Amino acid sequence: EQRKIGIIGLGVMGQNLALNIAEKGFGVTVFDPWEEARAAFGTSLKKEAEAELSSRIMVADSLDTFLSALPSPRVILLMVKAGEPVDELIGKLKSTLVSGDVVVDGGNSHYEDTIRRQEELQKMGALYIGLGVSGGYEGARHGPSMMAGGDPAAYALMKPVFESIAASYDGVPCCAHVGLGGAGHFVKMVHNGIEYAIMQIVAEAYMVMRDVYHLDTTWCSRVFADWNEGPFGSYLMEIASTVLSQPDDLNKSGSLVEAILDVAEQKGTGRWSVEAALKYGMPSTTISEAVFARTMASQKNQRVKASKILPGPDSKTAVVDSMSLKALRDAVFASVIVAYAQGFALIREATEQEEWGVRLSEVAKVWRSGCIVRSKLLDTIVTTFDAEPDLINLLLSDFFVGLLADYQEDWRKNARLCAEHAVATPVMSAALTYYDGYRTERSSANLLQGLRDCFGAHTYRRTDCDGIFHTEWK
Ligand code: 6PG
């Protein structure tokens, strides 16, 4: 008999994972502290096309019933909102957990919380896995990408379930034990950071098309569809085309995107990635600029005011032809490559400092299907890290060196165009700046060090001899 899985939390992600697990032949017992949520799921199960599915799902009406329905060792998947609700639930479960029980947190929890919870549960012999789940609600139902972190023995217990419900790429499940401790949630957090960066790059490209080339929304949609067909097609490129082509049903004219308020929201995983970049000392600038771009976008009132006060160039029109769109495409692809490079470099540094044992090729494999940052590029990234597991930065691999060499002229051309026509492209600019900063043999930090020593006697080192120096600057 297949293992029975317990799920607590019947939000859309919890419901869809339950259905997915049941569909793969496993028994599922679910519980939600909120009675309405249990009732709603019970009702939707009655409608579930396959009666077989509902026969494998039991909706428990109390936590006690839920716990006693699970065979030992119990496997409990928490699908509740990250933060306080997870701690509350663990508080309730704690007294009932016994040695060998496994608790899996499938929410977007902060990796430091996951480490703390792992340590708490370890005291009673229970095992705790932080599981990053990507792919939205559709993914949860039909195949998410899953990044697990924690005790390998606990993962081994979950592996058959996870592998059968995950998305697959060429027959390989997009699911792995990526590392110890908080590695699963850390990798998912950085996934989201890259997601923020790529989304912002896509939005910047749309803005260039809209405000400089004056293309209508349908045309923009076609451009993204066209790029998606190319060698670096991606899910976000595909849905950019989808979203831009959606008609506005409310107004019965124009496209829906034009009616959407240009104020961005965020739930925090991007910001956490930036905090981690600062903590581990990594220049993850495409991610930080993407987070700040959302912050800037949310200051709508100030932008409206400033747009009437701060001057810019008069003309905002450039000729659009196949060459200019190619330059934009190359700038987009080059920037996306930098976003992945920075994300992987951040994971690499964190796993080294924390000793999680994350292998970057494993992460890239898991991201090839099911998750939001899936793209054809990840195939190449897998090959790159498989060939060079210790590669310190993707940009240093022969393939990407060659690619960026091809793209850089267009990348710079597009940056000039954006500066001239006053279109803010923070992430594409940050990506190019990172590329140039990274390939700068002699930086300007010699002057920085001089300044620090001048005003604060902070000392400096010399290029021509060892030792720490301080100068009485005149
Ligand atoms: C995923 C998504 C998912 C969620 C984001 C949204 O991988 O499926 O990343 O986790 O949609 O957290 O984040 P924001 O609301 O901050 O944009």
Report pLDDT digits (tens) over 244-283.
999 999 988 889 999 999 999 999 999 999 999 999 999 9
Task: Ligand 1, residue 188: give the atom nearest the CA.
Answer: 7
Task: Ligand 1, residue 373: give the atom nearest the CA.
Answer: 7
Q: Which two tokens stand for residue 326?
A: 């190619």
Task: Ligand 1, residue 294: give the atom nearest the CA.
Answer: 17
What φ, ψ does residue 278 adopt, rounded to 5°? -65, -45
Nearest to 14 by CA among 199, 129, 144: 144
CA–centroid distance, 192 to ligand 1, in Å, is: 6
Whether residue 136 has its Cβ less than 6 Å from ligand 1: yes
What φ, ψ does residue 60 adopt, rounded to 5°? -80, 140
Nearest to 129 by CA among 110, 154, 112, 99: 154
Write down the catalytic residue from 23, 188, 204, 289.
188
> Cα–Cα distance between 32 and 386 in angstroms, integer?
42
CA–centroid distance, 328 to ligand 1, in Å, is: 26
* pTM exceeding the 0.90 threshold for the entire prediction: yes
Domains and their CATH numbers in the chain: 4-181 (3.40.50.720), 189-438 (1.10.1040.10), 444-474 (1.20.5.320)
Tell me the residue length of the chain: 474
Whether residue 321 has pLDDT greater than 90: no
> Cα–Cα distance between 351 and 358 in angstroms, integer?
6
The answer to whether ipTM exceeds 0.90 is yes
- Which tens digits make up the pLDDT trace of 42-59? 999 988 776 788 899 999
Find the helix or strand (DSSP H, E) in which 131 lies.
strand 127-134
CA–centroid distance, 207 to ligand 1, in Å, is: 22
Which residues, other chains included, contact 447 with Cβ-Cβ below 8 Å and sequence gap of 6+?
Answer: none
Whether residue 357 has its Cβ less than 6 Å from ligand 1: no
Nearest to 177 by CA among 143, 151, 213, 195: 151
Q: Which two tokens stand for residue 256?
A: 């829906």
> Cα–Cα distance between 133 and 174 in angstroms, integer?
10
> Cα–Cα distance between 424 and 430 in angstroms, integer?
11
Whether residue 27 has its Cβ less than 6 Å from ligand 1: no
- Which tens digits make up the pLDDT trace of 151-202? 999 999 999 999 999 999 999 999 999 999 999 999 999 999 999 999 999 9
CA–centroid distance, 461 to ligand 1, in Å, is: 44
What φ, ψ does residue 276 adopt, rounded to 5°? -65, -40
DSSP 382-401: HHHHHH-TT-S-GGGSHHHH
Nearest to 29 by CA among 62, 1, 70: 70
> Cα–Cα distance between 363 and 344 in angstroms, integer?
9
pLDDT grade for 361, boundaries at 50, 70 and 90: very high
CA nearest ligand 1 atom 7, residue: 134
Is 188 one of the catalytic residues?
yes
Nearest to 284 by CA among 294, 293, 274, 292: 274
